[in-house]
Chains A and B, each alone.
Chain A
Amino acid sequence: MNFNSRRSKALKKWDDLKVRKGIIIYVGAASCGRAAGCDAVTAVINKYLTENNLKADIIEVGCIGLCCFEPMIYIQKDGNPPICYANLNPKIIPALFEDVLQKGDVRKDLALGVIDKKGYGSIPSIYERPMLKPQVRIVLRNCGIIDPTDIDHYLARNGYLGINKALQMKPEEVIKEVKKSGIRGRGGAGFPTGMKWEFCRNAKSEPKYLVCNADEGDPGAFMNRSLLEGDPHAVLEGMLIAAYAIGAPHGYIYIREEYPLAIERLKKAILQMQEYNILGEKILDSDFSFDIEIKKGAGAFVCGEETALLASLMGKRGMPMPRPPFPATSGVWGKPTVINNVETLGTIATIIREGWKWYSGYGSETAKGTKTFSLVGKIKRTGLIEVPLGTKIRDIVYEIGGGVLNDKKFKAVQTGGPSGGCIPASKMDLGVDYETLTSAGAIMGSGGLIVMDEETCMVDIAHYFLTFTQEESCGKCTPCRIGTRRMLEILEKIKSGKGEERDIELLEYLASTVKNASLCGLGQTAPNPVITTLRYFIDEYEEHIKNKRCPALVCKDLITFNIDAEKCIGCGICKKNCPAEAISGETKKAHVIDLNKCIKCGICYQICPVEGKAVYKTSGGSS
C-alpha cells in the first residue's frame, strides 16, 4: 500500500471515530494522569460499563497539558463532540455516567469543556478556557487528542506529510526552509537548527549520524516526556526529515531511563513506522534509508550536555569533551553528527508541511515560533503549555496559570533549571525568549517555569540547585568539581545561621570563577541560581547573615514552631501525628510544643485543621 492510500484509509478511520454511534471514552493516561490516579478511575469506569451492560471504546490519549485538572476523561456519545470531565475520582464516576450516558444530562457542573474548536450545547469549547486560550499549540497539537499508539491517528492529523514533502525536495532545500523559519534549538542554548544541519551536511566524512536528545534532566521540566508520550510520531517524523537533510542513514534516541512510558511509546511507534515503510530501507519508495536505535540513559544529568551524551551513547562514562571539534564535524564514532532536542525535532515536520513563512509569523524578533513550558511550583493551574516566544512572564503566570497558589505574593519565577536563574516579580513584563532571559541572568533552558511565592526562601533555592549541580558534576574539571562544592558549603553556612558578611563577596568571586573556567555547560551555568538570587534578593541573604532570620520561614535552623493558644481548639491531631512526641496538651485545651524535642518536620503546621492555622512559625524573634 502506498502512502496516499494509507493516508486516505487513516483519514476515513479518524472520521468514522468522530461520528461513530455509541460511546467512546478518552482517558488522559500519560505519566501525569497515571500519577493523579487515572488507573483507578478507568477501573471504576469498566466496572460501571459491565454492570450496566453498556459497550464503550476506551481510548488512552496523552496529556493535553491541563495537569491541574487530572485525572480527566472525555466522553463522546453518538458522534457528538467529546466533553472533557476533570478532577475526577472513582467515587464520582457512577453518578457521572448515570447522568451523561443514561439520563442525557451533560453535567455542566463537572464539564471542563468540549474537545473541539466549537462548544456544544451549553458547554463551551475547552480552548476557550483561560488556561488554553492564550496558547498556540504547534508542537503539542496532537497531545491529548490522538491515541499515541495508533499511527493512523497521527496520519489522519496530517502526519508524515512533512517527510513526504521533504523527500520531493533536495536536502539543501530542506535545510534552507528550516533556516528561513528561524527555529533555534529548544534544548536551551538556542543555536539555529538549520545552521547546525548545514555544518553537518557539509562535513566531509561518512556515515553521518542524527541523535535525538531526550535526556530531559532539568528537575521541574517535563515537556519532552509529555510530547514523547502523547505524540511520539511527531518527533520521529522530525528525525526522518533531519536525517534526510543532513544525509544520515542512522539515528539514535538517547532517552532517560526514568521515562519508561515514553520509551514504550517510541518502541511501538518505530514498529508501526517500519510496517508502513516510513522507516527502514527506501522510505516511501524514495532512495532514502534510515534506521533508529533507542539508547537508554542511566541517570546522569551531565549527559544532557552534547559531548557527554555522545560519550554515554558510545558506552563510556558520560564525561564532556572540550569543543571544538563540534559534533557536527566529529560526533558519534568520530563522524559528523547532529544532536537535536526532542521539541526541536517535534516542530520540524510542521515547519516543512506549513512552510517557513507561516512558522516565523509566531514569536519575537530574535526568536521565532513557539516554545513549550512546564508551568509548576506555587501556581494555581499547573500544566504543560505552549506559547509564542516573547510572551510576557506576567501573562503566563496570571492568565494561563491563574496566579499564585492560595493568592500568596508572587516572588519569582525560576527558568532553565539548575543552569538557569530566578527572575523577580519586578521583571514580570519581560518576554520569554533566549536573549531577554539571558540578559536577566537566567537562561531559557529546556522550558521549566517554576513559580515561587513569598514562602519560598531564595537562599534555600540557591542551595537546592547547587546541591543538585554539585552532585551531578562529573568531576572532570577542577572549577566545577571543587568550586561548586565550596559554594555549597558557604550556602549551608548561611542557611544554618552561621554566615559571615564576607561570605557574599566570596560567593560572588567563586561564582564568576566557576562560570568562566568550567569545561562544559554544566559548570558554566551552575552558578546562575546563586548569581541571580544574589542580584535580585540580596536582602534575603543579608537577613540570614546579619539577623539570623529566614524571612520566608523555610531554613530549619532559623525557625521555630509554636502553637497559638488562642486559636488552638485542642483537637489533638498535631499531637497524634508528631513523630517526635514533642506536643502535649489535654483534649479541648490549648496544646504546647516542646522546643527541645521538636525536630521541625512541619507536620503539625501542615495538618492543623484550624482555619488560619493555630500552629505558626517564627524566625529571628519576629514572625
Chain B
Amino acid sequence: MKSEIKKIIKLFKDKKGALISILQEVQKKYGYLSSEAISALAEELKISENEIYGVATFYTQFKFTKPGNHQVKVCLGTACHVRGGHGIMETVERQLNIKHGETTKDSQFSLERVACMGCCALAPVMVVDNDIFGKITSTKVKNILNDYNRNGGKKQ
C-alpha cells in the first residue's frame, strides 16, 4: 500500500493545499480510507493522523469502512422530496433490509442518501454505481435492485 500511496502523493507534488485531492484519489483506489492508508499518508506527508482525520471527517464523501460492491444512492433533494423521494428511500431500505449509511451483510449493496443529483426534472431519482434512474416508483426499485443482484452483481 505504501508505494501506491507514494505514487498518489507524487501526482500532487507541487500543488499547495492538495490534501483533499489526495484523499479523493486514495478513496478512488481503495474504495474507502482505511486506518492503514491514513497512517501511511500521515507518514509520507509528515503531518499528524489527527490532522488528516480532522479534514476527512468534515466531508461526507469520505468513508472509513469498506463499502459494498454496489453503491445505491437515493436522492432526497427538494424536487425528489416533494415527488416522494422519502417513500423511495423507505422501499430501498426495506428491500435491502438495511438503513441508509449501512452495507448489506453479503457486502453486495451500500445505501446512502444524497442531497441532490441535479436531475431534479426527473424526480424522484436514484443512482446505482454510475447509472442514474429517473422517475422511479416503489415497484421499479425492486426490479432495478434485482437486476444488479441477479447478474452476479452486474447490471444487465
Binding site for B on A (CB under 8 A): 31-32, 34-37, 67-68, 70, 216-222, 225-226, 257-260, 293, 295-301, 312-319, 333, 374-378, 382-384, 414, 417, 448, 450, 452, 456, 461, 464-465, 468, 472, 474, 577, 579, 601-603, 606-607
Contact = CB atoms under 8 A, between A and B. Distances in A.
Interface in B46-81: 54-55, 58-62, 76-81
A450 B62 contact: no
A317 B59 CA distance: 8
B115 interface: yes
Nearest to B58: A317
Contact of B78 (A300, A317, A414, A602): A414
A377 B78 contact: yes
A456 B82 contact: yes
Given A31-B119, A315-B19, A448 B78 contact: yes
B139 to A, nearest CB: 6
Contact of B118 (A257, A259, A382, A456): A259
A220 B116 contact: yes
A316 B55 contact: yes
Contacts of A374: 120-121
Contact of A606 (B60, B116, B122, B138): B138
B133 interface: yes
A302 to B, nearest CB: 9
Given A68-B121, A295-B21, A417-B78, A602 B60 contact: no
B85 to A, nearest CB: 10
B121 A298 contact: no
B125 interface: yes
Contacts of A34: 132
Given A314-B17, A377-B83, A219 B78 contact: yes
B18 A315 contact: yes
Contact of B116 (A217, A257, A456): A217
Contacts of B78: 219-220, 376-377, 414, 417, 448, 450, 464-465
B47 to A, nearest CB: 10
Interface stretch (B86-94, B99-107, B145-153): B86-94
Contacts of A312: 20
B24 interface: yes
B123 interface: yes
Contacts of A450: 78-79, 82, 120
A375 B78 CA distance: 12
B120 A607 contact: no
B114 interface: yes
- Main secondary structure on A side of the interface with B: mixed
B139 A607 contact: yes
Contacts of A218: 116
Contacts of B79: 219-220, 376-377, 382, 450
A468 B61 contact: no
B16 interface: yes
Given A219-B78, A300-B58, 6 more contacts: A36-B122, A221-B118, A295-B20, A295-B21, A383-B121, A450-B78
Contacts of B80: 219
A568 B130 CA distance: 41
* A-B CB proximity, top 6 nearest: A67-B121, A219-B77, A220-B78, A298-B59, A222-B118, A315-B17
B122 A318 contact: no
B5 interface: no
Contacts of A382: 79, 120-122
A579 B87 CA distance: 12
B62 A258 contact: no
Nearest to B127: A35
Contact of A219 (B18, B23, B59, B115): B115
B116 A221 contact: yes
Contacts of B19: 315-316
Nearest to A383: B121
Contacts of A318: 58-59
Contact of A217 (B58, B76, B115, B123): B115
17 contacts: A35-B125, A36-B135, A68-B121, A219-B116, A298-B59, A298-B60, A300-B59, A301-B115, A314-B16, A376-B78, A382-B120, A382-B122, A384-B121, A472-B115, A474-B58, A602-B87, A603-B139
B35 interface: no
Contact of A378 (B82, B121, B125): B82
A242 B78 CA distance: 33
A603 B23 CA distance: 41
Nearest to B54: A317
A296 B138 contact: no
Contacts of A474: 58
Nearest to B117: A258
B15 to A, nearest CB: 7
Contacts of B87: 601-603, 606
B120 A221 contact: yes
B82 A222 contact: no
A602 B83 CA distance: 13
Contacts of B133: 35
A226 B121 CA distance: 12
B134 interface: yes
Contact of B120 (A70, A222, A295): A222
A459 to B, nearest CB: 13
A210 B125 CA distance: 34
B110 to A, nearest CB: 15
A282 to B, nearest CB: 22
Contacts of A295: 20-21
Nearest to A295: B21
A105 B152 CA distance: 45
B118 A376 contact: no
Contacts of A260: 130
B138 to A, nearest CB: 5
A579 B88 CA distance: 13
A612 to B, nearest CB: 19
A577 B19 CA distance: 48
Contacts of B117: 31, 35, 258
A510 B43 CA distance: 46
A220 B21 contact: no
A258 B122 contact: no
B147 to A, nearest CB: 13
Contacts of B18: 315
B17 A299 contact: no
A236 to B, nearest CB: 20
B118 A258 contact: yes
Contacts of B16: 314-315, 333
A279 to B, nearest CB: 18
Interface string B1-42: 000000000000001111111011000000000000000000
B125 A299 contact: no
Nearest to A224: B118
